[in-house]
Amino acid sequence: MNIAVYPGSFDPITYGHLDVVSRAAAVFDRVVFAVLVNPNKGAPVLATNDRLEVIREAIDECCPADLASRIDIESFDGLTVDFCRRRKATFIVRGLRAISDFESELQMAHTNRKLAPEIDTVFLMTALEHSYLSSSLVKEIAFFGGDVTQMVPAAVARRLAARGRGL
Ligand code: PNS
């Protein structure tokens, strides 16, 4: 069985992330949507449990049932490769939006391969219509009370709206 881990901060998920995970679920037998609990990155806008909840709601809302049933959602801390080994995953999935993503992704892929030669990174190009999206911009727009409904699944937009302007 081919298991892939799709790691990230996902604070919050966007339609770009959903596009990547649903296409990964069409390729691999199982995909683990892995939410990093990262104390080094400062306080997230959405707490880990909120991020896990909105991802579940968004997948149920947006992904066809046969793909959704192949996606697990978990949080992890520590190294991505250690999490992959615990989950018996031999692939890491990452999305590439533009050439500007490539340099850091290439470095991470090589580093992870050095740490764990049995785990390979597979890149999916984020769909063109979502390639402008980033979690940081979504947070900034929501912070100033802007409309993010075209950028994030309804489950996320509801959470951000509930937090109100200034988050
Ligand atoms: O999409 P993001 O939020 O930039 O994801 C970055 C992520 C989570 C994939 C990366 O920071 C990561 O893997 N962190 C876990 C710690 C780790 O394994 N570091 C070495 C990576 S080469």
Active site residues: 17, 41, 97, 135
Residue among 10, 40, 80, 115 to mutate when testing ligand 1 (max atoms within 8 A of CB): 80
In contact, 46 and 163? CB cutoff 8 Å: no
pTM to 2 decimals?
Answer: 0.96
The pLDDT tens digits for 26-46 are 999 999 999 999 767 788 999
Q: Which run of H or of E encompasses 71? A: strand 71-76
Bridge partners, 71 (sequence order) = 31
What are the residue ranges of helices labelled H in 5-118?
A: 15-25, 48-62, 65-68, 80-86, 99-115
Q: What is the pLDDT of residue 43?
A: 86
In contact, 155 and 7? CB cutoff 8 Å: no
Residue 22 has pLDDT above 80, yes or no: yes
CA nearest ligand 1 atom 2, residue: 8
Token pair belonging to 1: 């069985």
Amino acid (one-letter) located at 99: I
32 CB under 6 A from ligand 1? no
The pLDDT tens digits for 76-128 are 999 999 999 999 999 999 999 999 999 999 999 999 999 999 999 999 999 99
Which domains, ranges and CATH numbers included, belong to the chain? 3-131 (3.40.50.620)
CA nearest ligand 1 atom 21, residue: 108
Separation between Cα atoms, residue 80 and residue 20, nearest integer Å: 18
